[in-house]
Structures are given as structure tokens and as C-alpha cells.
Amino acid sequence: MQLRYAFRLYPDTGQQRALAKAFGCARVVFNDAVRAREDARKAEQPFPKAAELSKRLITEAKRTAERSWLGEVSAVVLQQSLRDAETAYR
């Protein structure tokens, strides 16, 4: 016999802000990964490896003034966004 549970979460205002920030940062990293692959394809170069994208799009981007806000969310969310982009291309 299989049991099934249904849950509904009601985050408070602070949690809603944190979730929105995490989702927004994940979307930015995903879009950057797609752009990097498209640029490589147009230049007829090999696709960048996941480790290279992680270094360039997350680690180095956090150190710039334009993308310093990426450091406000968990790196796990950003890494998963890169893995999702990689899976989408496969």
C-alpha cells in the first residue's frame, strides 16, 4: 500500500523574499550558462565545461560589483541552476 501526503506551505514575508531572491539568482545563472553555450556555438568553439562555467559565472561573478548580490544566496542553488542548464542541453 502506498501512502500519499499533501502539504501546503505558507511562507511569511521574510521567507517569501528569500525564496524570490534565490529563484531570481538561479534564473540569472541559468540564463548566463545558456548565453555562454550559445556564444561558444556561434564561435564554433567547444562548449565550456561545467567547472569552467561554475568558476566564471558564479565564483568570479560574485566578486564583481554588478553581480555581488549573487553572494547573498546559497551556492547550492546556483550550482543546481548550472546542472539544470547542462541537463537541458543534453
At 3-55, the pLDDT tens digits run 889 999 999 999 999 999 999 999 999 999 999 999 999 999 998 888 999 99
| 51-73 pLDDT tens trace | 999 999 999 999 999 999 999 99
Total residues found in the chain within this entry: 90
Sorted by where each begins, the domain ranges of the chain are 16-89
DSSP codes joined into one string, 3-43: ----------HHHHHHHHHHHHHHHHHHHHHHHHHHHHHHT
